[in-house]
Structure 1
Amino acid sequence: MKILLIEDDRNLAFMLQEMLQDRHYLVDVAFDGESGLDLAIAFEYDLILLDVMLPKQSGIRVCQQLRARRNQVPVLILTAQSTSDQKVAGLDAGADDYLTKPLNVPELLARIRALLRRGQGAASPVLEWQGLQLDPTTFQVTGNGQLVPLTAKEYGLVELFLRNPQQIFSQSVLVERLWDSKNIPTENAVRAHIKSLRKKLKTVGLGDLVETVFGLGYRLRQGSPDAAEVTAPALSDVPASASSSQKFADLWQESRPQYIERAEHLNRAIAALSQDRRDWADMLRQAQQQAHTLSGSLGSFGLERASQLAAQINRLLRLVEQLQASDLERLERLALTLQQELQVATAADVSLETVHFDEPKHPIRLLIVDDDLALTHQLATLSEPYGIQTRIEPNPALVVERVSQWQPEVVLLDLNFPDAPDAGFALLRALFDRDPQLPVIVFTARDRYSDRVKASMLGGSVFLQKPVAPSTVISTVFQAYTQSDPREITLMQVNADVKASRAIESHLTAWGFQWTTVKTVQQCWKTMPDFQPELLLVDADLPKGSGFDLCRVVRNEPRWHNLPVIFMVTDLEPEIVRQVCIAGGSACLFKPVAEAELIARILQRIRIRA
């Protein structure tokens, strides 16, 4: 489980972080209210531990702003003031519980467990699935009664799967939920943890309990492992077909001269840096541009050594003003080695992971925004057999116009354009302002934590780190499309107000959602097994039966406990917020419900669930 600790006392914060990490919680720490709020908005947490007295912004204000954004993450207030006024202020701001300093550690841990159970709707602290058990009070995992020795990350995977047994977790979601924001792993690392966990579960007789849902991610196997059908292999395990491999090899042969030319430009620019020339700044900019492009693109062809050389050159170029003459000589040697690597690289040296799944029901229109034309041509060619129609736009100034003309369903956007360093972020904001529902996959060779936070806040759907395999890009496009295509989403509205429900139905129909409307909680419960909704829209003011009670019942049912439930409310008074949090609601919409807010909120909750 992932916890955000916002505490300005650094000694206390580090002590709490270490204590919680020892108990297999993943903990991010912020030391002031402003940075804490940024993290809470940018990432999804299971719980926030929030000090009241914070620099830059008080804990009360942070909580108020989160609730104003409809963020319903459980909040435990930590306060050194034991007066009832301080406690009331925290609860009125939307906090779920409070604890007075100095902290009693056993009580703190008990309250954390209680809030996490409440958020998951679990009545029993022990989590179980087909012989696999996890006791969060002892932090022990057993399989068929035998203790399973797990690493911290493997324990986190088991807990996440057991708390959400029906949910499919993509690799990007696993990274967000199980790794702290300063240590983002590679996709290979995620797959390695899954592989190790499967091996350990098999040793205690649980079989292949963690299954791969092809093109989407991982979940606990549904039904008996012995009787289960063979699932599709993970993308990395699928062998490339002969035709795909040949096409990929042909692409490299076609692109290789362009990359050799880039390496030659890089060589000349680095050589010029050691000379006293007036255009030194221009040469540095050109060198950084070439190294940036090469480090990301060559890795996508599977040329790992060449990609690493370019990345090493790029890192040194960022420090060029601090480098000595010997460092400049080293740069020249690295650039020459890179050029030689590309000159001898043949089609046999490139590697391809292919994706094997059915063509989508509707062709996916993908707009690729990147100035590396060799890479974009590679992606466009390899995407075509999977029903993905591509357009390429290397000029960020023309992207919004292209979106208006072509109406893409997914955008793949490189954040970093050498001639316009901030153009990617400005474009991301413009695309989100134009259409919040349009999935934008951020695609960049620069890996900075601040870039990830900023991209998330500006509406980026997924962050892909170059170099990345074409198969990963293609599967991510499919995932982004299926998570945002209303035609694939079924909704159930629980609303006795005929006029209001018809207005909402018209919005849902216009966007292509599959929906049904019922007027009572009893009708909802009877209809759900047949209709299989992926989200509930519930009026908080139902005349017969409480919508909050319905949400609690849904949370206690294993089939539905992870189902998004959006409440439609008249206002966000503290008592309403408290009821929504206690019941396990996912979000709130103000009545009368506006179309743009309704659609954005539905797609947001569907994407988070996926």
Structure 2
Amino acid sequence: MKLLIIDDDRETTSALRAVLTTQQLTLDIAPDAQTALALLQTVPYDLIVLDVMLPDADGISLCRRIRQQQQTIPILLLTAKDAVGDRVAGLEAGADDYLTKPYDSAELLARIRALLRRGQTPIIETLTWGALQVDPQACKVTYQGNPIKLTPKEYKLLELFLRYPHRIFDRKALLDYVWSMDECPGEEAVTTQIRGLRRKLEAAGLPNDPIETLYGLGYRLRAWQPQTHSQEPLDAGQQEAIAAIGQMWQEFQGRLQEQLSLLEEASSNLANQTLTPAQQQQAQYIAHRLIGSLSAYGQPEAAILARHIEQGFAAPQSAIAPQLTTLLQQLRQATTQSPFADAPASSTASQPPLTHRILAIAPDPTLLQSLQTEAPSWGYHLDTATDLTSARQQLLTHSPDAIILDLDFPDAQNTGLTFLTQIKRLGSTPVLILTQQNGLSNSPSKTLRDRITVARLGADAYLQKFASPSDIWRVVNRLLHRFDPVTARLLIVDDDPDLLTRLQTQLQRWGFQVTGLSDPSQFWSVLQTTRPDLLLLDVSMPEYSGIDLCRVVRCDAHWYALPILFLSAHADADTLHEALSVGADDYVLKPITEADLIQRILKRLGRISALEEVPA
């Protein structure tokens, strides 16, 4: 559960944090009305605790404004005003409860839990996944009656998954729900906490991982299925439900074929450079709707393909048309059969959905076995071959989504290079090359030349074989998604509303998630809320200049490395020198050319991507 505390009194908010965090509740603190309204636009909260006296507004007016925005979040007014008239005014403004200071902590907790029970996210007495139980009242986790000790973050993640068993959470959503605004972690913190949670649940004796990874989408609770060693028939209710959903799937086929035809037509027009803006928008909309529809029908692999197609049409370029054509072919193939056609009579727990088929070719069985062990956890089906003859036979029977090729065959190095050439002649399947630690040659003077040879033959990535299986799969994952348009988060701070609107429109067409801010006084709260991957700052603004904001970012221990581009009409050397001296990464002169701005943004984001994703 995530609460927003709107109060400018540090002593009060510190005390509230101390009391509420012990109950595994996550808090964000807003010291004024403007910050609170900005947070409410971007972060989903389960309850608001609102002080009546605020520096820029009174709490009752703010409560009324929140209700006018159709926000139905429960609101608890917490104030030192105890007159009957104040209580009446607060409740008539839309508050759900009213508690006066000083208050008793036990009463405050009781009122909060009562509001949560009446709100949109009711507190359930016990959340269960088989023999795994979470008691939200006592904040305890047990498996088969035995307690499991979790960190606060691990507990909150587990409770969230069990509370919303059918929802898919991406990493940003998990950050918004589980971490408070002042913690400001990166998305890798989500991976770390989920990994720790999985290990503790496995150590507690759970036979299967309850958290399902949907690569490219996020995480969700895996459907619990009882362990059984016998083929027990489905009961009448289960059979009726499957039949009903199967009928709905059949009725959906007509609309699906029509939508796929429209997407294929748009892809063809893109290849011929005749795609109109209206067709582009329609293709994006169709693909976006398909993500939800296919997920609902139990087709996660097809939903992921639809997501890649949506992103491909977000920034249409004729160069990516072949990839869109391939994705559409894969989507047609993935949706030819009902997801319930081969449903077994009994259910058993399964691995995450296998979304891609990979072929690994290497003479070392130990290497292949280590890759095979980790493949299901990435959602990949791995085929293996220990020689090039069997590899050729497998390529004739099916087309993999990516190939891992070890060049160090015992006969001759050129054999692997010849095979790489043959693969690339057959199509554009991405190929990851593995070779010995010192490169293709034992001579350092030949290493660069050998790498250039591999690159010219069409290899898509290169790794030395001492890399761990996780590093190898991470690179394969990057190759499979390399045609995704940019989805980075950008924050633009500029007091010119017309320029701000134009930049947002231009950048969103490229797939960026753009937040525009015209009031630099709200910069810090919006920065922490949106967690951008790159900043674009105007130099000259009222009250706080872009120079001031850049200094603040560079002085912060968490944000100091954030890429910053200045947007300025000042072409003089002094302003440019000052911007670079305070830590700007680039300086773009107004009027801004879209192509130039995109190139500069991609350059800065690409530098970060390379450092984060490519193993050393």
Q: TM-score, normalised by structure 2?
A: 0.45
Q: TM-score, normalised by structure 1?
A: 0.45
Higher CA-based Rg: 2
